[in-house]
Amino acid sequence: MNSGLRRRKNIARTALPTAVLLLIGSAVTVQSSAPAAAAETTLRAAAAKAGLFFGVAASPNRLYPIVGQEFNQLTPENDMKPDRIATSSGGLQNTSGADTLVNHAQSNNMLVRGHTLVWHSQAGALQGASQATLNNFIGNAINRWGSRIAYWDVVNEALEDNNTGRRRNQWPHTMNRDANGDGDFFDSGDTDVIRDSFIRARQVVQAGGLTTKLCINDYDVDGLTVQGGTPNRKADALYDIVRNYRQYIDCVGFQAHFNDNPNSIITNDLQANIQRFADLGVEVHITELDIDDDLSNNDIGTGQAENYRKVVRACLNVAQCTGITVWGISDSESWRSSERGLLFTGGNGSYQKKAAYHAVLDELNKGRSSTPPPTTPPTTPPVTPSVPPTTPPVDPTTPPPTTPPPTTPPPTAGCSATVSLDSWTGGFVATVRVTAGTASISRWSVQLTLPSGATVTNTWNANRSGTSGTVQFSNVSYNGSVNGGQSTEFGFQGVGTATGLTPVCTAA
């Protein structure tokens, strides 16, 4: 068997969000013991098999057959932006372009990403609006399409350029107030348009019983570092926002407009950055991918096709990276046509595949990696002193020291666990958070009893014994060590209904 076939045979079955599961239907039920399947010939089929969506930015005048053939997710490139659809009081207008796109997506079995609700740019009649008006618009827009929109970009491009790590110094962020002057907007007395917009969006989703997931989206947040190994402070700032507002945020979009700007290149730590967001429990998406073909001229890539391959591989290697969207079909129709950053040449419905297309298809066909990379760096071995410690000779005349009884018992290894469930008819994904007690732990296990009829089909970040009834999970090599008071997460996916799970955590 050639190595390509062997790799495909070993494709890991991965955690999938409800939206992706609905979209790919039976594709995820393929057992790893099944014979290797033939390579898929479209991006959407190859992506679905690997458990993610592959989407495109679209406009109503370019809904050519290729859109539904190659892609299974659609983002309106301009038709859902406030300058198209918002009135100055937060009402809706001119939604026909957006409606056309949502209908087209639905009839071609594609997911929709709504783009975007709160943004300094293309704000139209909302420019300068109050939070109350923004909230009105958020409610109207989310409710218009309801669960037909799988993901909404609630807040877009909140962070400043040039790797400062600060919020933008322009509307709507001018509404922000740092009440206690501690340099952030995370305190309850602070005003933060990001938090307040997500709170509003969350209320609307909950009140309507919608399945829509709520995302924050930005650019130059792709790597842990930027050119020259400088920390990516913009990515760090986004990470802090997601960590602080985790209860309102379901997903993070890395726009991934890669070009020669020092803060916009592809760095080798893209996958590690995706992983750290995934470790917060959110889905990660590459939302607006295009790659300047001049990137082959600097030292971070050997050409556009290879650069595309790197980005797709980084996403595939993280189970919670559940979708990639390219920002247009062909170079000539791209917002940055001079960079020739997309997968096709041609235009007006007649397109030719580039080398980058074939690289992406090939990489998707390889599927996800079977073993996730470590999420925590390996611990360094203790330093051995160069001079061995000398034991002082025992003086026989000195009485042995008496040890006073301890007044507080030493901390014992312990842990607790909580489960959060994402359920749909006939299936569920459970995320289990393991938190160490006051002492650090070096390994843990969690026991859960599933209701009858529920069966685990897939697990990540844990070893498992059993699939139904009482099931035991234990740490894998890279997440057993948890410092006192700190947490780690694992997850599993199953069929049936999993309510009332009571995890029992033990640690050593």
Should residue 288 be labelled a site residue for ligand XIL when binding is judged by CB under 6 A? yes
CB of 78 to ligand XIL, least distance (A): 5
CB 72 within 8 Å of CB 324: no
Nearest residue (CB) to ligand XIL, 250 versus 288: 288
The DSSP code sequence of 314-381 is HHHTSTTEEEEEES-SBGGGSTTGGG--SSEEEETTEEEE-HHHHHHHHHHHH-S-SSPPPSSPPPPP
Alpha carbons 85 and 124: distance in angstroms, whole number: 9
Give the one residue of 64, 171, 186, 335 binding ligand XIL; rule: CB under 6 A.
335
CB of 59 to ligand XIL, least distance (A): 8
Nearest residue (CB) to ligand XIL, 288 versus 489: 288
112 C-beta neighbours (distance < 10 Å), count: 27
CB of 456 to ligand XIL, least distance (A): 38
- Burial class, 365, CB count within 10 angstroms (exposed 0-12 / middle 13-18 / buried 19+): buried
Alpha carbons 214 and 195: distance in angstroms, whole number: 12
Nearest residue (CB) to ligand XIL, 71 versus 473: 71
CB of 268 to ligand XIL, least distance (A): 24
Alpha carbons 150 and 260: distance in angstroms, whole number: 32
Q: DSSP label at 412? A: P
Distance of CA 25 to the CA centre of its chain: 21
Q: Site residues for ligand XIL, window 78-117 (CB under 6 A)? A: 78
Nearest residue (CB) to ligand XIL, 157 versus 363: 157
CB of 432 to ligand XIL, least distance (A): 34
Nearest residue (CB) to ligand XIL, 344 versus 473: 344
Give the one residue of 77, 192, 250, 293 binding ligand XIL; rule: CB under 6 A.
77
Site string for ligand XIL, 422-451 (x = CB under 6 A): ------------------------------
Nearest residue (CB) to ligand XIL, 77 versus 363: 77
How many Cα atoms are found within 13 Å in the side-chain-facing hemisphere of 37? 17
The DSSP code sequence of 115-134 is EEEE-SSS-GGGTT--HHHH
Q: Quick check: helix, strand or coil at residue 148?
A: helix
Give the amino acid at 329. Answer: I
Nearest residue (CB) to ligand XIL, 212 versus 255: 255
CB of 77 to ligand XIL, least distance (A): 5
Is 288 considered catalytic here?
yes
Please tell me which residue in 77, 157, 283, 288 is annotated as part of the active site: 288
CB of 91 to ligand XIL, least distance (A): 22
CB of 219 to ligand XIL, least distance (A): 6
132 C-beta neighbours (distance < 10 Å), count: 11
Give the one residue of 136, 156, 212, 435 binding ligand XIL; rule: CB under 6 A.
156
Across 104-259, where does the E strand assignment appear? 111-118, 151-156, 213-218, 251-254, 257-258
Measure Cα distances from 421 to 21, 425, 492 in Å.
15, 13, 10
Give the one residue of 163, 212, 255, 322 binding ligand XIL; rule: CB under 6 A.
255
CB of 335 to ligand XIL, least distance (A): 3
CA dihedral 218, 220, 222, 226 (to 10 degrees): -160
Nearest residue (CB) to ligand XIL, 156 versus 267: 156
The DSSP code sequence of 91-107 is -B---HHHHHHHHHHHH
Nearest residue (CB) to ligand XIL, 197 versus 461: 197
Alpha carbons 147 and 205: distance in angstroms, whole number: 9
Give the amino acid at 266. Answer: I
Q: Site residues for ligand XIL, window 9-68 (CB under 6 A)? A: none
End-to-end CA distance of the chain: 43
Should residue 330 be labelled a site residue for ligand XIL when binding is judged by CB under 6 A? no
CB 84 within 8 Å of CB 94: yes
Give the amino acid at 418. Answer: T
User: In this chain, which residue has its C-beta nearest to ligand XIL?
Assistant: 335
The pair of structure tokens assigned to 240 is: 């802090």
Q: Site residues for ligand XIL, window 378-407 (CB under 6 A)? A: none
Torsions phi, psi for 452 (to 5 deg)? -65, 145
Q: Which residues are catalytic?
A: 288
Residues that bind ligand XIL (CB under 6 A): 77-78, 156, 255, 288, 335
